[in-house]
A = this chain, B = another copy of it.
């Protein structure tokens, strides 16, 4: 399974070079030459990662970035920004919007592929049960059994931790109460109980500023927000 990479740039030359290098590195490149097409391509192709030029016709890179982040279906796709000027990049990657990394033009393709590799590895790690999860101000270290909000450790009980960890790992996807009872509590035959609700309430209380990550999907279950 070759990961699909969407490359968005308005210069055909850049697309060609990148396409070649990506194929060489074992990826399947897909292309778009403006912001509108980029958004369409993300929806159609569901790439594993997006390489995004900052300067684009139609809808510029920043805007594309924002739109992708706002939508739960695409919020977790890593974005690598390309730009000519390095100066303003800290702002872009850090706070304003959710780019995950950036490379300044002119760049060495080797460098770019390395960054892509790193981002993909990081994204994949979210599924690895032993990994250290970092979502916005939230830090979850399953190995050490420690959860933090903005660096401040939370005092969670074992069940609370397991619940939070599981929801965060499956972020974006709704978990029914039955599923949670099975996976967190280990109940074989899910019973009718409000236990899950009570635990969610305590979790929310302890999470404080980060409580909004725990979303209720009425009639279905709970979901850890997909957007950081």
**How often does this chain occur in the complex, in copies?**
2
Evaluate contact between B73 and A139: CB separation under 8 angstroms: yes
A144 at the interface (CB under 8 A from B): yes
In the complex the two chains form, what is the Cα distance from A194 to B130 in whole Å?
27
Q: Decide yes or no: A218 and B144 within 8 Å by CB, A46-B132, A151-B71 being known contacts.
A: no
- Do B72 and A144 have beta carbons less than 8 Å apart? yes
* One of A97-105, A198-206, A219-227 contacting the partner: A219-227
A29 interface hit (Cβ, 8 Å) = no
What residues of B have a CB within 8 angstroms of the CB of A226 in the complex? 144
Q: How far is the CA of A217 from the CA of B146 in the complex (A)?
A: 10
Which of A1-9, A79-87, A106-114, A153-161 sits within the interface?
A153-161
Q: How far is the CB of A40 from chain B (nearest CB, A)?
A: 10
Task: Select one of B44, B71, B174 contacting A148, CB under 8 A.
Answer: B71
Tell which of A73, A134, A148 has the most Cβ of chain B within 10 Å.
A73
Interface residues of A in 141-155 (CB under 8 A from B): 141, 143-146, 148, 151, 153
Q: Which residues of B contact A30 (CB under 8 A)?
A: none
Using a Cβ–Cβ cut-off of 8 Å, how many residues does chain A contribute to the interface with B?
Answer: 31
Contact A158 B44 (CB under 8 A): no
Q: Please judge, given known A-B contacts A43-B151, A132-B46, whether A141 and B73 are in contact too, CB under 8 Å.
A: yes
Query: What would be 27 A-B contacts, judged by CB atoms less than 8 Å apart?
Result: A39-B151, A43-B134, A46-B132, A67-B151, A71-B151, A72-B144, A72-B153, A73-B132, A73-B144, A73-B146, A73-B148, A143-B172, A143-B173, A143-B174, A144-B172, A144-B173, A144-B174, A144-B223, A144-B226, A145-B174, A145-B217, A145-B220, A157-B219, A158-B217, A158-B218, A158-B220, A159-B219
